[in-house]
Amino acid sequence: MEQNIDGSIGWHSRAKAVIPGGVSSPVRAFSAVGGNPRYMVRGAGSRVFDVDGNEYIDLVGSWGPMILGHAHPEVVRQVIEVASNSSSFGAPSPHEVELAEEIIHRVSAVEKVRFVSSGTEAVMTAVRLARAATGRDLIVKFAGCYHGHSDALLVQAGSGVITLGLPNSPGVTVGQAQDTVVLPYNDVASLEALFTERGSKIAAVITEATPANMGVVPPLPGFNKLIADLCHKSGALFILDEVMTGFRISVGGWWESVRQENWIPDLFTFGKVIGGGYPLAAVAGKAEIMDLLAPLGSVYQAGTLSGNPVATTAGLATLKLCDKALYDKVNLRAQQVGAGISQALGEAGISHQYQFAGNLFSFFFTAEPVRSYEDAKDQDTKIFAKFFHSMLKSGVSLPPSAFEAWFVNGAMTDLDVEQIISAAKISAEFALNP
């Protein structure tokens, strides 16, 4: 086969010469599935197109933010309009105020919002605030939950760390790691034991609202409420990481969808959807904690492009279009696609677990339900790789890792669903008998 020097193979060869691994985020490299990553150049609605001219139904969705589909006309129109007046001022602008107001309107536990440029920054800031507010150092996280690549939290993280088989955070100092305690996810006994032994030293517990970076592993009933209760009883803060689920699961994100459980986080982190595909994230929460940030308080955080007008305009335009009708449609599409693929895998005789939380879903190629990081690691990733490549060949772009959530969007049609399920039937047979 002749190499197309202008296609994905040629671009990746060029990229590897100038970018570590040829990518700006590890999972994109296809290391977990083999082969050459596709270089995308255009998206329209439910579909994306690569440099070779191939068309794919997109189940990656830029890892969450493209909830409306690609290049939504109204979002594009507003972005072009604001960018024509300058993409950044390094000064306050009305757009960030309007977006903060929209977030506060949607999430009743949020009183103030500070914008940053990435989920990692949002979590770093939340952790710093928690330590300042409590005067304590210890942070508790759960194995397999991913909260960005800051030193203190890149310990038994999910997503790319699992995918690449990396050891526990090379480059992270002992001093950073010693203030982070990692517990098994969904393990009530371990959580209660830690608070009994060290509760007075814990600054915060952080968890994904529903983990989606080791695949989708919903919290067991009452687990998040237990975290909140233990934190508040001991004087620690509860940080709910909704970078993935915020405004993707519902109008108000995960927490608003489960308010009847009667628990409240102290701080939230948001990302993905709030930027509408542009680099934007936020830390948000109670005013008394948020006001510890400079310039009101002494907790320092800054960013040249934080809250820039293009990203905040894209985010606000996206959120304004994320109404109940949109969520109803996305939830339906997720159920149709997930159930259809699960049926195809089952009919082919492939052991798997179809797991979902709202409209987030993923598949584990294992015989037993997945409730923790250890469970997630115990799956047949080789079967997934074969299934992945067959789906790609059939025109369906999946996340290139068995440890990621899958995403549908509001532009997806009945025909898209039919094509996905048809491809899944072919790919399931191929994965078992290539």
pLDDT given at position 149 = 84
Percentage with pLDDT > 70 across the chain: 94
State how far the Cα of 426 lies from the Cα of 395, in Å rounded to an integer.
Answer: 12
- 365-383 pLDDT, tens digit per residue, is 999 999 999 999 999 999 9
pLDDT given at position 155 = 66
Among positive and negative, which fits the CA dihedral 411, 413, 419, 420? positive
Q: Mean pLDDT across the stretch 339-358?
A: 97
From 50, 58, 141, 241, active-site residue: 241
CA 327 to chain centre: 17
From 141, 272, 377, 386, active-site residue: 272
229 as an active site residue: the answer is no
Mean pLDDT score across all residues of the chain: 93
pLDDT(397) > 90 = yes
Per-residue confidence at 432, pLDDT binned at 50, 70, 90? Answer: confident
Are 285 and 133 spatial neighbours (Cβ–Cβ below 8 Å)? Answer: no
Among positive and negative, which fits the CA dihedral 364, 367, 372, 375? negative
- 99-147 pLDDT, tens digit per residue, is 999 999 999 999 999 999 999 999 999 999 999 999 999 999 999 999 9
Q: What is the DSSP letter of 201?
A: G
- 323-338 pLDDT, tens digit per residue, is 999 999 999 999 999 9
State how far the Cα of 78 lies from the Cα of 98, in Å rounded to an integer.
Answer: 14
Closest of 333, 256, 430, 257 to residue 69, by C-alpha:
333
Beta-strand runs (E) in 117-160: 138-142
State how far the Cα of 328 lies from the Cα of 315, in Å rounded to an integer.
Answer: 20
Q: Mean pLDDT across the stretch 334-349?
A: 98
Q: What are phi and psi of 222, to 5 degrees?
A: 85, -5
Residue 414, classified by CB atoms within 10 Å of its CB into exposed (0-12), middle (13-18) or buried (19+), is exposed
State how far the Cα of 123 lies from the Cα of 68, in Å rounded to an integer.
Answer: 26
State how far the Cα of 398 lies from the Cα of 60, in Å rounded to an integer.
Answer: 6
Per-residue confidence at 174, pLDDT binned at 50, 70, 90? Answer: low
DSSP 246-277: TTTSSTTHHHHHTGGG----SEEEE-GGGGTT
DSSP SS3 for 141: strand
Q: Which domains does the chain have, with CATH numbers?
A: 8-63+323-432 (3.90.1150.10), 73-321 (3.40.640.10)
30, 33, 39, 44 alpha-carbon torsion, rounded to 10°: -120
From 56, 146, 278, 327, active-site residue: 146
Residue 423, classified by CB atoms within 10 Å of its CB into exposed (0-12), middle (13-18) or buried (19+), is buried
39 as an active site residue: the answer is no
pLDDT(2) > 50 = no
Instruction: Look at the chain and count its residues.
Output: 434
Q: Mean pLDDT across the stretch 278-300?
A: 97
Side chain identity at residue 263, one-letter code: W
241 as an active site residue: the answer is yes
Are 114 and 96 spatial neighbours (Cβ–Cβ below 8 Å)? Answer: no
pLDDT given at position 179 = 86
State how far the Cα of 191 lies from the Cα of 233, in Å rounded to an integer.
Answer: 13
Per-residue confidence at 159, pLDDT binned at 50, 70, 90? Answer: very low
pLDDT(308) > 80 = yes
Side chain identity at residue 268, one-letter code: F
pLDDT given at position 167 = 41
152-166, 257-271, 365-379, 403-417: range with lowest mean pLDDT: 152-166
Percentage with pLDDT > 90 across the chain: 90
- 223-258 pLDDT, tens digit per residue, is 999 999 999 999 999 999 999 999 999 999 999 999
